[in-house]
């Protein structure tokens, strides 16, 4: 099985006619994702590779029944694109855009509190349930359908872990990049809960990094609520305090969010923490078999 997306997910792409949106829409189509609509204001009634384009998300939803959105919209307009999708009734919003102003995401977070929708990202590579659906920029060809869930703050490390697992014959149920910005939608805790309930997931991999306390919260949730094994890796062990490392959310400040503390907390909760990313595949194999 999988979580959040599957073969029945109907996807629309906001910003489908831009360079990024166009390229990755074609990649999603090639993978087999059911892309049913695109949205670009002013280009309604046109088509993109046979896919109808609409001026608004609500028009696209009403016409096609889309229930998920991939957002490839410039940073200044991306938060509004998320709000438009949620207002139109989209249940799964995947925001790929990087560099959205934090104040804009605060508005999005407050707006979505009581809404029947989930947000993945922003600044995410997306989500993939191998063999069923891909929303975003993940390299579909390295994935294999299987029983390991992956939650990551790092796109590059996600690909490394997936490649390791696939090469030793271990497939993935769903892989999610939660995004590297300070304010994001779904967090580790939300997704651990989903994977714990998913009959098709037997183990979970967490790929974390310095900054914030999301991994510590995941450790607490695991200790109190999970029976399935979790393997974790924390990037940024050698990062100097106070310096951002790659992602806007990857910064250690005031003694909070450093790699050593995260590793200690995860291990204390009973999570297997891998020190070298090249050992993740073997460690997952050990906990499964």
pLDDT in tens, 75-106: 999 999 999 999 999 999 999 999 999 999 99
Tokens standing for residue 12? 């629309």
Q: What is the CATH number of the domain that holds 55?
A: 3.40.50.720
Is pLDDT above 60 for 244?
no
115 and 57 fall within a common domain: yes
Is pLDDT above 70 for 52?
yes
Is pLDDT above 50 for 171?
yes
d(CA 43, CA 56): 10
Q: What's 7's DSSP letter?
A: T
Side-chain-facing half-sphere of 219: CA atoms under 13 Å: 21
d(CA 153, CA 77): 23
Residue 62 in contact with residue 72, Cβ under 8 Å?
Answer: no
Give the CA distances from residue 170 to residues 149, 159, 164, 283, in Å, rounded to whole numbers and listed in that order: 11, 14, 9, 12
Q: What is the pLDDT of residue 80?
A: 98
222 — pLDDT class (breaks 50, 70, 90)? very high
266 — pLDDT class (breaks 50, 70, 90)? very high
- Helix boundaries (H) for the chain: 19-31, 57-64, 75-87, 102-112, 155-167, 188-197, 214-225, 259-268, 280-288
180 — pLDDT class (breaks 50, 70, 90)? confident
**pLDDT by residue (tens digit) across 132-168?**
999 999 999 999 999 999 999 988 899 999 999 999 9
177 and 280 fall within a common domain: yes
d(CA 167, CA 278): 13
Instruction: Look at residues 77, 93, 120 and tell me which one is the last residue of a structural domain.
Output: 120
Residue 105 in contact with residue 78, Cβ under 8 Å?
Answer: no
249 and 189 fall within a common domain: yes
Q: What is the pLDDT of residue 245?
A: 53
d(CA 99, CA 248): 8
CA nearest to 127, candidates 242, 3, 287: 3
Looking only at the bridges linking them, the beta strands covering 133-136 and 126-129 are antiparallel
| Mean pLDDT across 250-276 | 82
239 and 102 fall within a common domain: no
255 — pLDDT class (breaks 50, 70, 90)? low
d(CA 191, CA 197): 10
Q: What is the pLDDT of residue 250?
A: 46
Whole-number percent of the chain with pLDDT over 70: 93
225 and 95 fall within a common domain: no
Overall residue count recorded for the chain in this entry: 289
Residue 30 in contact with residue 154, Cβ under 8 Å?
Answer: no
pTM: 0.93
d(CA 56, CA 42): 9
263 and 155 fall within a common domain: yes
**pLDDT by residue (tens digit) across 22-47?**
999 999 999 999 999 999 999 999 99
What end-to-end distance do the CA atoms of the chain give, in Å? Answer: 20
Is pLDDT above 60 for 119?
yes
Instruction: Look at residues 85, 120, 155 and tell me which one is the last residue of a structural domain.
Output: 120
86 and 155 fall within a common domain: no
Instruction: Look at residues 90, 120, 150 and tell me which one is the last residue of a structural domain.
Output: 120
Is pLDDT above 50 for 253?
no
Q: What is the pLDDT of residue 212?
A: 86
**pLDDT by residue (tens digit) across 104-113?**
999 999 999 9
154 and 94 fall within a common domain: no
Give the DSSP per-residue string, 12-68: EEETTTSHHHHHHHHHHHHHT--EEEEE-TT-TT-EETTEEEESSHHHHHHHH---E
State the residue for tokens 């990024």.
Answer: 20
Residue 284 in contact with residue 165, Cβ under 8 Å?
Answer: yes
Q: What is the pLDDT of residue 210?
A: 87
Q: Which domain holds residue 226?
A: 139-288
Residue 1 lies in a domain: no
Q: Which residues are catalytic?
A: 247
Mean pLDDT score across all residues of the chain: 93
């Amino acid at each position: 099985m999988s979580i959040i997306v599957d073969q029945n997910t109907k996807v629309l792409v906001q910003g489908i006619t831009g360079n990024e949106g166009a390229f990755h829409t074609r990649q999603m189509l090639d993978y087999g994702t059911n892309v049913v609509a695109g949205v670009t204001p002013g280009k309604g009634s046109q088509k993109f590779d046979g896919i109808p384009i609409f001026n608004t998300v609500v028009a696209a939803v009403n016409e096609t029944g889309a229930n998920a959105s991939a957002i490839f919209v410039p940073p200044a307009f991306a938060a509004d694109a998320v709000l438009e999708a949620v207002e139109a009734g989209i249940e799964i919003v995947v925001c790929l855009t990087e560099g959205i102003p934090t104040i804009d995401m605060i508005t999005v977070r407050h707006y979505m509190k009581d809404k029947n929708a989930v947000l993945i990202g922003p600044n995410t590579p997306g989500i993939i349930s191998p063999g069923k659906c891909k929303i975003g920029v993940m390299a579909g060809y390295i994935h294999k359908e299987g029983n390991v869930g992956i939650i990551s703050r790092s796109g590059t490390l996600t690909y490394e872990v997936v490649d390791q697992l696939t090469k030793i014959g271990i497939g993935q149920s769903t892989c999610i990049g939660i995004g590297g910005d300070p304010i994001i939608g779904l967090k580790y805790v939300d997704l651990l809960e989903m994977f714990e309930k998913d009959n098709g997931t037997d183990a979970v991999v967490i790929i974390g990094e310095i900054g914030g306390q999301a991994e510590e919260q995941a450790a607490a949730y695991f200790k109190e609520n999970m029976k399935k094994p979790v393997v974790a890796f924390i990037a940024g062990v050698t990062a100097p305090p106070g310096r951002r490392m790659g992602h806007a959310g990857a910064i250690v400040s005031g003694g909070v969010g450093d790699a050593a503390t995260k590793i200690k907390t995860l291990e204390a909760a009973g999570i297997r923490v891998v020190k070298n990313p090249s050992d993740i595949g073997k460690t997952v194999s050990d906990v499964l078999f």
